[in-house]
Amino acid sequence: MRSFLVLMVICLSLQVWSASWIGQPAADFHLQDQVGTWHDLKDYRGQWLLLYFYPKDGTQGCTQEAERFRDLYPIFRSRHVNIIGISEDTQVSHADFAHALQLPFAILADAHGDIAKHYGVLNNLLVTRFASRQSFLISPDGIIMRQYKRVDPSNHATQVLKDLAVMQGKSNP
C-alpha cells in the first residue's frame, strides 16, 4: 500500500512540473457532452474558453469545483467566457452529475482519455486512469493564456475570474 501511495504522489508531482502550454495553440477536441451534443474547439472561436479537466463525477472535490463554476457562471458569461468540464466519465455519468448539480455548462466525455493525454493531464496509476485537476484558459483566437496546474476546487473559479479580469483589462468581479 505504501509503495502505491508513493507512486501516486510521484505521478501527480510530474503533472505539476509538466511543460507549460501558455502561448501555445489549444489542442482541438471533438467530444460529446452530457446531452449528446458534439463540441469542437472551433465552436468557441471569438470567445474565451475555460477548459477544466477533473478526475471523477460525484467526488467531493469535483462536485465542489463544479458548484463554484455553476454559482459564478453568470459572471463568466458576462465576460464572454464559456466553461467546459472534461473527464473520462461516460456521457450517462455526466448527465447524472450535471442534472444533480443543475450545471449550466457542458461536461464532455473523454472516455478514452485522448484529449486529457494530449493536454498532458492524463494519469495512469496501475489499473486506474484519470485526468488530473488542471485547467486551461483559452483566448478568443485559440491560444492558451493561462494553465492552472495546481487547482484548489474551493477557489479556482474565483481565481480564474481574477486572472481573466486582468487579461481583459476589467475590474475584478
CATH number for the domain spanning 163: value is 3.40.30.10
Mean pLDDT, residues 57-74 taken together: 95
Q: How confident is the model at residue 30 (pLDDT cuts 50, 70, 90)?
A: very high
The answer as to whether 98 is a domain residue is: yes
Beta-bridged to residue 130, according to DSSP, are 123
pLDDT at 60 over 80: yes
- Domain assignment of residue 101, yes or no: yes
State the DSSP string of 73-118.
Answer: HHHHHHTTEEEEEEESS-HHHHHHHHHHHT--SEEEE-TT-HHHHH
Question: What pLDDT does 2 receive?
Answer: 52
Mean pLDDT across 85-97: 94
| Assigned domain for 50 exists | yes
Q: What is the mean pLDDT of residues 41-52?
A: 95
Q: Is the predicted pLDDT of residue 36 greater than 90, yes or no?
A: yes
Identify whether 18 is part of a domain. yes
Q: Can you tell me the distance from the alpha carbon of 137 to that of 44, in angstroms, rounded to the nearest whole number?
A: 12
pLDDT band of residue 7 (cuts 50, 70, 90) is: very low
- Among 148, 150, 152, 54, smallest CA distance to 103 is for 54
More confident: 10 or 78: 78
Which triple of cell numbers denotes residue 123? 494519469
Task: List active site positions.
Answer: 62
pLDDT at residue number 13: 44
Q: Which structural domain range is residue 92 located in?
A: 2-168
Residue 72 main-chain phi, psi, to 5 deg = -100, 5
Domain-embedded: residue 106: yes
Residue 5 pLDDT: 41
**Rounded mean pLDDT, 91-106:** 96
- Say what percent of the chain tops pLDDT 90: 64
The answer to whether 135 touches 160, Cβ cutoff 8 Å, is yes
User: Amino acid identity of 162?
Assistant: K
Question: Does residue 30 lie within any of the structural domains?
Answer: yes
User: How far out from the chain centre does Cα 26 lie?
Assistant: 13
Percent pLDDT > 70 in the chain is: 85
Q: What gap in Å lies between CA 50 and CA 130, rounded to an integer?
A: 19
Number of structural domains (the chain) is 1
Tens of pLDDT, residue by residue over 117-167, are 888 888 777 677 678 889 999 999 999 999 999 899 999 999 999 999 998
Q: Which three cell numbers stand for residue 109?
A: 466525455
pLDDT reported for residue 135: 93
Q: What is the mean pLDDT of residues 29-47?
A: 95
pTM of the model: 0.84
**What's the half-sphere exposure (Cβ side, CA atoms, 13 Å) at 113?**
14
Cβ proximity of 156 and 64 under 8 Å: no
In a domain, 173, yes or no: no
Q: Where are the alpha helices (DSSP H) in 17-90?
A: 60-78
For residue 92, being part of any structural domain is answered with: yes
Burial environment of residue 17 by CB neighbours within 10 A (0 to 12, 13 to 18, 19 or more):
exposed
